[in-house]
Amino acid sequence: MPHQSTARIRVKGIRPALMLGMCFLLSACLGEGIPGVAKMGFGAGDAPADLRAASLSAQGDVRSALIDDLQARRSVLPPGGAFSAVADAVIEAGAGVAAAELRIARLRAEAKAKNWLPQIGPSANLTSLGTLAASLLVEQTLFDNGRRKAERAYAAADVEVAAVVWASEGNKRVYDGLRHYLAAERARDQSNVSERAVTRLAEFERIMALRVDGGISDRSEQRVLSQKLAEMQANLSADRQAELTAMSELGAMTTRDLSLLRGLQNLPADQPHPEPLAVTRSRGEGARMIAEAAMAKADMLPSLTASAALGKGGVDGGIGLNGGTFGFGSSATREALDATADLVDRRTAQVAEDANRRIIALQREMQSVLSREAEGAEVLRQTGSNLSMFTEQYKVGRRSLLELVQQYESFARAERDQVALKYIATDLRLQIALERGVLVDGARM
């Protein structure tokens, strides 16, 4: 069974000012930093590279290349357009949960930045005579195998993770808002196509009714045309309902009126940098895991503290040795803790691979949609030419009205499908930007 022992060398008869001064002098020396020795005590050794990645200043500010990278990211959304207006509106109306968590993490880091200073607090002991003796206890850690430095590294990594979460949630919120906007714009464009088709088919139906009344066409042709008109009217109703639904969902995310926004914007091509947010978050979580392992390893070794208790009887000072835990499984435990860095590297590599695969899949899908759009534009042009030819042939009696209606229906459906492709491609580009975390300026942090 693990066992922890504590030994204390008591020193009496020391003047209060001298004993307290020694504790504060020790903390001052540690605060300045002795060469090769960390603030948390003597014999700290070299810190892993991951622990040096983020550090805390004496004021509690986090120095982190990861956070610098997040703040340097720039949004791919063109300024002054509909996309940036939607992004600003949804960010402004956000609940700010991730931002609050980031502030809390920074406050915790600020508190941990002072963990090398002496601990001061009241102490109460029951004497052999049954009376309660109160004193003021000052305790300074001299040697803790790097635990306090690991605590500061953990707090700094915690701020990094909170910053990545803030960036991820901000980017996701902007993407959700833009997705609703794209859905509304797509439905609006498709409803325009459907509305033109309904107007044209209604005119064809009027002509067909006159032909039936005149005995030129039979009612079976009229029923076929009426069915096609009803289908197009159903498409028009569905498009208008989709537009209302999308704008309602977008309105629920904002406090601004965005109903007058119109149009799409060209987005820049994807760049290989910055790295996906999922990878950045994995790095932050990995640094936090390594710091946690360092704390656990420090707890397994002895630590040394100096203390001074100021009471009615004067100052009772001493040096305390707190024994680390040990047992039959200690060696395996240390090996497991030492393997944390390797686990972090492997996990980050896996996350990077998964993120890159997602981005590549989105890029290929977007290229496929763009190719379909280019091919569809040519098909639509040819269908329009055929429709013009059918119209001329109908006017000279070489085509029936039903044949013209069928040709126009094919043209309207092709036009409606063609309209959707540019919105699908834009959505895929936004998904890539979401993966990379470049829908929101990092400067907002």
Question: Which DSSP helix (H) or strand (E) runs through 125?
Answer: strand 119-126
List the structure tokens of 261: 């926004």
Out of 24-33, 129-138, 267-276, 283-292, least confident range: 24-33
Q: Considering Cα of 228, then 229, then 235, then 237, what sign does the dihedral take?
A: negative
Global pTM reads 0.82
DSSP sequence for 266-283: --PPP-S-SPPHHHHHHH
- The amino acid at residue 237 is S
Count the neighbouring beta carbons within 10 Å of the beta carbon of residue 297: 19
Distances (CA, A) of 211 to 3, 81, 189, 204, 218: 102, 51, 33, 10, 8
Contacts of 259 (CB under 8 A, 6+ apart): 247
> Could you report the per-residue pLDDT of 270-327, keeping only the tens digit for each?
988 899 999 999 999 999 999 999 988 988 888 888 878 777 666 777 787 776 667 7
Phi/psi at 143 (5° precision): -150, 115
Identify the pLDDT of residue 202: 93
Helices and strands of the chain, counted as H and E runs? 11, 7
Average pLDDT across the chain, whole number: 84
List the structure tokens of 352: 């990077």
Identify the pLDDT of residue 130: 58
Please tell me which residue, 23 or 329, carries the higher pLDDT value. Answer: 329
- The amino acid at residue 206 is R
Identify the pLDDT of residue 32: 42
Euclidean distance between CA atoms 387 and 385, whole angstroms = 5
> Could you report the per-residue pLDDT of 225-259, keeping only the tens digit for each?
999 999 999 999 999 999 999 999 999 999 999 98
Largest CA distance in the chain: 126
> Could you report the per-residue pLDDT of 328-361, keeping only the tens digit for each?
778 898 899 999 999 999 999 999 999 999 999 9
- Domains annotated for the chain, with CATH where assigned, are 6-444 (1.20.1600.10)
Euclidean distance between CA atoms 201 and 362, whole angstroms = 39
For residues 230 and 319, the answer to whether their CB atoms sit within 8 Å is no
Distances (CA, A) of 282 to 24, 102, 345: 39, 17, 9
Residue 75 confidence (pLDDT) above 70: yes
Residue with tokens 């109703």: 237
DSSP sequence for 155-213: HHHHHHHHHHHHHHHHHHHHHHHHHHHHHHHHHHHHHHHHHHHHHHHHHHHHHHHHHHH
Euclidean distance between CA atoms 206 and 220, whole angstroms = 15
> Could you report the per-residue pLDDT of 408-444, keeping only the tens digit for each?
999 999 999 999 999 999 999 999 999 999 999 988 7
For residues 12 and 274, the answer to whether their CB atoms sit within 8 Å is no
Cis peptide before 274 (omega within 30 of 0): yes
Please tell me which residue, 132 or 319, carries the higher pLDDT value. Answer: 319
For residues 222 and 209, the answer to whether their CB atoms sit within 8 Å is yes
Euclidean distance between CA atoms 387 and 437, whole angstroms = 46
Identify the pLDDT of residue 293: 93
